Amino acid sequence: MSESEIADVDAYMHAMGERARGASRVLARATTAQKNRALLAMASALDEARDALETANRRDLEAGRDNGLAEALLDRLALTPARIDTMIEGLRQVAALSDPVGEIRDMRYLPSGLQVGKMRVALGVVGIVYESRPNVTVDAASLCLKSGNATILRGGSEAIHSNRAIAACIRQGLRVAELDDACVQVVATTDRAAVGALIAMPEFVDVIVPRGGKGLIERISRDARVPVIKHLDGICHVYVDQAADPAKAVAIADNAKTQRYSPCNAMETLLVHAEAAPFVLPELADIYRRKGVEMRACERTRAWIADAIAVTEEDWHSEYLAPIVAIRVVDTLEEAITHINTYGSHHTDAIVTENLTDARRFLTEVDSSSVMVNASTRFADGFEYGLGAEIGISTDKLHARGPVGLEGLTSEKYIVYGDGHVRS
């Protein structure tokens, strides 16, 4: 359906939801082989459609330039040959992952003679709302398909032609595997009302995964009538313990801040034990200065870094996503943990220490979705964790925490075997 034909967006989304629900019932019982066949056929279809993809993408880029889109956004939007390669490779990797659907655990006999256990099942229909990167279309579709979920994808309006061209390849892959087109649907209108409709159809959509800026995610979390898998902020900490190896501490605090500034798992606040400060802060300050990182520090830190500017309470709450770091000296491990649990965003926090007891305590008491020992917070993602891919990162407490891969797109139901059992 082309955009001009979509007069009634609510009716259009309703029909899409109904088709997705129907397809999800079939997909939930599709064999692993059939799902993999579809994924590999999508990869081939993308490979064969390179010209069409680049033509469609050129239309988006031209429109973007005409509309004065920022250079960074145009860069995200671009479907270069290398990015098409990455999408194709991603599909092949997801095909190679083991299928979580149908896993049975903890089957056991109970005193009644009943045998009870849990079976892993698809969630049903997943709605994905994302911004400019067209590669999300393929990443999200492939993870949802492999985990047995039907998907409705709603990308950014600036990528509409690219997304439609990718959608055509996805449909071709589904057809090769004899799966219903409605297993993966791409919203064909740029009308913003489509998002509002998508997130308010609990009868057809089981979960929404928003991917994009904080504004988008806040809006969706507020208005959604179905559960949302998300994270809002990545206020990540590195704590350099009294028992830290100074070389590891410097390397990790440098990497966590400067390897890239914009990812949500980059460090924003550095906490340093008072006894470690002299062995770590001067050297780190040199590195940060050289790399142009602005340092905002507490009074005690400034004894070691004279040129740091005074930190404010607001800094502890800030996700800079920029070459800025907040630094605080603490007297105890407990003070560091309290700081993280108070100001952090439950995303990713790391301790640098050689002390076993301090490491165990930090792992247990820091209430974040990823807690690390002697590693850079930048490792918090699905690829690095061996999930094969990720659909997003969750900082919520229920369901999945941290990078969400195939398992996070499933849940478990109880299965029970009896032999004519009745309750007395």
Looking up tokens 């959509």 gives 205
Shorter beta-carbon distance to its own copies: residue 310 or 356: 356
Shorter beta-carbon distance to its own copies: residue 160 or 236: 236
- Contacts with its own copies by CB under 8 A lie at 25, 28-29, 102, 108, 110, 112, 114, 116, 119, 121, 123-124, 206-207, 227, 245, 247-248, 251-252, 254-256, 259, 341, 350, 352, 363-365, 367-376, 378-380, 384-386, 396-399, 401-403, 411-424
Q: Give SS3 for 114.
A: coil
Asked whether the CA dihedral 309, 244, 318, 262 is positive or negative, the reply is positive
Shorter beta-carbon distance to its own copies: residue 329 or 372: 372
Q: Which of 380, 416, 385, 412 is nearest to 399 (CA)?
A: 412
Work out how close the CB of 332 gets to its own copies at its nearest, in angstroms, rounded to a whole number: 15
Shorter beta-carbon distance to its own copies: residue 319 or 354: 354
Shorter beta-carbon distance to its own copies: residue 185 or 394: 394
Question: Within 10 Å of residue 278's Cβ, how many Cβ atoms?
Answer: 13
Work out how close the CB of 286 gets to its own copies at its nearest, in angstroms, rounded to a whole number: 17
Work out how close the CB of 70 gets to its own copies at its nearest, in angstroms, rounded to a whole number: 27
Burial of 225 (0-12, 13-18, 19+ CB in 10 A): exposed
Shorter beta-carbon distance to its own copies: residue 108 or 290: 108
Work out how close the CB of 232 gets to its own copies at its nearest, in angstroms, rounded to a whole number: 11
C-alpha 397, offset from chain centre = 15
Work out how close the CB of 416 gets to its own copies at its nearest, in angstroms, rounded to a whole number: 4
Q: Give SS3 for 210.
A: strand
Q: What is the DSSP letter of 385?
A: T
Shorter beta-carbon distance to its own copies: residue 193 or 415: 415
Distance CA 137, CA 79 (A): 12
Work out how close the CB of 281 gets to its own copies at its nearest, in angstroms, rounded to a whole number: 18
Work out how close the CB of 240 gets to its own copies at its nearest, in angstroms, rounded to a whole number: 12
Work out how close the CB of 175 gets to its own copies at its nearest, in angstroms, rounded to a whole number: 23
CB 315 within 8 A of CB 326: yes
Return the bridge partners of 352, or none. 240
Pairing of β 236-240 and β 104-109: unpaired
Distance CA 190, CA 159 (A): 9
Pairing of β 104-109 and β 115-122: antiparallel
Copy the structure tokens of residue 375: 């590693």
Distance CA 88, CA 349 (A): 33
Work out how close the CB of 236 gets to its own copies at its nearest, in angstroms, rounded to a whole number: 13
C-alpha 134, offset from chain centre = 15
Shorter beta-carbon distance to its own copies: residue 313 or 414: 414
Return the bridge partners of 330, or none. 273
Work out how close the CB of 251 gets to its own copies at its nearest, in angstroms, rounded to a whole number: 5
Q: Which of 87, 76, 79, 96 is nearest to 45 (CA)?
A: 87
Work out how close the CB of 381 gets to its own copies at its nearest, in angstroms, rounded to a whole number: 9
Shorter beta-carbon distance to its own copies: residue 78 or 351: 351
CB 195 within 8 A of CB 15: no
CB 162 within 8 A of CB 57: yes
Distance CA 55, CA 49 (A): 10
Shorter beta-carbon distance to its own copies: residue 9 or 371: 371
Asked whether the CA dihedral 352, 353, 356, 357 is positive or negative, the reply is negative
Shorter beta-carbon distance to its own copies: residue 197 or 256: 256
